[in-house]
Structure 1
Amino acid sequence: MRLGLDARSLGIEASSAIGLRPLRIAGGGAVARHEIEPMVNEKVDAALQLQARALTGGLGGTPQSATGRTLADYRRKVRSNRRRLPKSLAQP
């Protein structure tokens, strides 16, 4: 039950970050470039880090612990973006 709630929370949090990103990118120029490049890189980096942790047992010994730790890791990253994006939109 807990994993389902965590997955649902991640989906809700991610959708708000996904909604804010086009607003930042729409302005174009250097601001958009500084948003797009890290956006792509952070997804690749997150996947590679989680893969390495999974291969070395760093996500736990059960499917449930691996899933829970993976969700927690992604939620941390999404939460960080959700805090950052509204602040960057408010700046001229």
Structure 2
Amino acid sequence: MFDLFNPFSRLAASSAALAVEANSVIGLRLFAMATGAGSDRENRRMVSEKTAAFVEAQMEVATSLMLGQGHLAPARVVKLYRRKVRANRRRLNPG
């Protein structure tokens, strides 16, 4: 049974939402590239954002571990990535 009060269920639901949201951003970027609307600047931004998000995720994990809250690290990382993906979706699809 799926119980949103269970932390593992919440993490699973949030991870699934991240997968769907990330897929929509990938689609928007691929469409822009295929139609010529994409730019080299956007492609460079995409790579640099991924690198920065990875570093931020590592910091979330390290901070969680140092605070003795390692069990919260996965949810914090998923939350971080979802925030980044939502920002990209809003920027790429303003309508």
Please indicate, yes or no, whether the TM-score normalized by the shorter chain is above 0.5: yes
1:49 and 2:56 correspond: yes
Identity, % of aligned pairs? 39
Q: How many residues align?
A: 85
TM-score under structure 2 length normalisation: 0.77
8 Å Cα contact 2:18/2:81 also seen in 1: yes
Superposition CA RMSD, Å: 2.1
Structure 1 residue matching 2:64: 3-state secondary structure: coil
Q: Any idea what the Cα deviations from partners look like across 1:17-68, whole Å, max 9, x if unmatched?
A: 100001222316xx511210010000111111221232233796132x1111
Q: Which runs of 5+ in 1 are unaligned?
A: none
> Which has the bigger relative contact order, CA under 8 A and spacing at least 6?
1
SS at match of 1:68: helix
CA distances 1:63-92 after superposition (whole Å, capped 9, x unpaired): 2x11111110000010111111123xx7xx
Paired residue type of 1:54: V
Q: Which runs of 5+ in 2 are unaligned?
A: 1-8
